[in-house]
Amino acid sequence: MTTALPAFARQAWRLLEPLHAVTYFSPEPLQAFKTAGYRGFWMGYFAGRAAPLGPVGPEIVHALFYNFTVDRVAKALPSAWEFAPPQAALTAREEGATAALRRQLGDLADSPSLAAAAELACRAAAAAPLEGRALFAANRALPEPTDPVARLWYAATLLREHRGDGHIAALLAAGVGGRESHVLQALANGTDRGIYTVSRDYDDQEWAGRHDALRSRGWAGDNGLTDTGAAVKHEIEARTDAAAASAYTVLTPEERDELLRLLRPLARAVIAAGEIPRVTPIGLDLGEAASPAR
């Protein structure tokens, strides 16, 4: 059965995100960033993800990434470019992620099905609209790899950032700031607050303040969202899916179904490697992608 485009976009995200996320968690890219000269996880993270933008400083990255504190970004940028230029970060992330995926995928890495998935995903990424999507546009300006595994990672990265830019637009339209968005996410999904304490530098005072801000708008109670808050969250996600769907109009309904079919075993293999946290700050339960029902 053909899936409506917004629902398809959400399904594709669930399957593509693990292929991109190895960039941040698997040993090969982490070592590649270290070898390039970057010091510590966060310097490698910000250098790698921001590198398509050139040697930018913390203000631009803070604006585009949306959910980190500017102080956290400023600890890594622009000083990272004194250790190694953006091109070194680009090389490290592509080569490291490709090596990680090859190891995790095993025989699937050289299969015709992977090459076919890469082709379909690259077509979607190449056709996705650029307008209003600065981080996606910067990534799409990079050369497309020729190796099939690298092409799949490249397409997953582009489609992920395309969706992310659209999600930020939806949050802005709803009047939700980057820091508030994590509290909204945690209350909506019951996500352990500790995930954000560690990865996004929340202390008790800030978390309580953001929670109170949502409460004052009638969106949050003590332990979850109100009906109004849940409706706002649903609308944000619906707008995100609709904006992300614009990347896939170039594919026929049959090609979209085929892309999901091809991606499922690849995502399951990557998740089974156990290197990506099951629940991440973006609110996606990566374990769901491993379900044969999806």
Interatomic CA distance for residues 32 and 25, integer angstroms: 12
Q: Are 253 and 1 in contact (CB under 8 A)?
A: no
Would you state the structure tokens that stand for residue 286, as one six-digit string? 């990566």
The one-letter amino acid code at 257 reads D
Would you state the structure tokens that stand for residue 23, as one six-digit string? 């960039």
Percent of the chain with pLDDT over 70: 95
Q: Report the pLDDT value the prediction gives residue 284, as an integer from 0 to 100.
A: 66
Q: Report the pLDDT value the prediction gives residue 282, as an integer from 0 to 100.
A: 67
Interatomic CA distance for residues 204 and 293, integer angstroms: 39
Q: Are 69 and 201 in contact (CB under 8 A)?
A: yes
For the chain, how many structural domains are there in total? Answer: 1
For residue 285, list its beta bridge partners: 279
Would you state the structure tokens that stand for residue 68, as one six-digit string? 């980190």
Omega prior to 78 cis, within 30 of 0: yes
Spatial CB neighbours of 234, under 8 Å, sequence gap ≥ 6 = none
The one-letter amino acid code at 203 reads D
The pTM assigned to this predicted structure is: 0.94
Interatomic CA distance for residues 169 and 147, integer angstroms: 33
Spatial CB neighbours of 4, under 8 Å, sequence gap ≥ 6 = none
Q: Max CA-CA distance within the chain?
A: 54
The DSSP symbol for 55 reads: S
Q: Are 179 and 69 in contact (CB under 8 A)?
A: yes
The tens place of each residue's pLDDT in the chain, 294 residues long, gives: 467 999 999 999 999 999 999 999 999 999 999 999 999 999 999 999 999 999 999 999 999 999 999 999 999 999 999 999 999 999 999 999 999 999 999 999 999 999 999 999 999 999 999 999 999 999 999 999 999 999 999 999 999 999 999 999 999 999 999 999 999 999 999 888 888 888 888 999 999 999 999 999 999 998 899 999 999 999 999 999 999 999 999 999 999 999 999 999 999 999 999 999 887 776 666 665 555 444
The DSSP symbol for 87 reads: H
Q: Are 124 and 248 in contact (CB under 8 A)?
A: yes
| Residue-range definition of the domain harbouring residue 133 | 5-290
The one-letter amino acid code at 282 reads I
Q: Are 67 and 186 in contact (CB under 8 A)?
A: no
pLDDT in tens, 110-131: 999 999 999 999 999 999 999 9
Q: Report the pLDDT value the prediction gives residue 193, as an integer from 0 to 100.
A: 84
DSSP string, 156-215: HHHHHHHHHHHHHHHHHHTT--HHHHHHHHHHHHT--THHHHHHH---HHHHHHHHHHHH
Q: Report the pLDDT value the prediction gives residue 2, as an integer from 0 to 100.
A: 60
Interatomic CA distance for residues 279 and 233, integer angstroms: 18
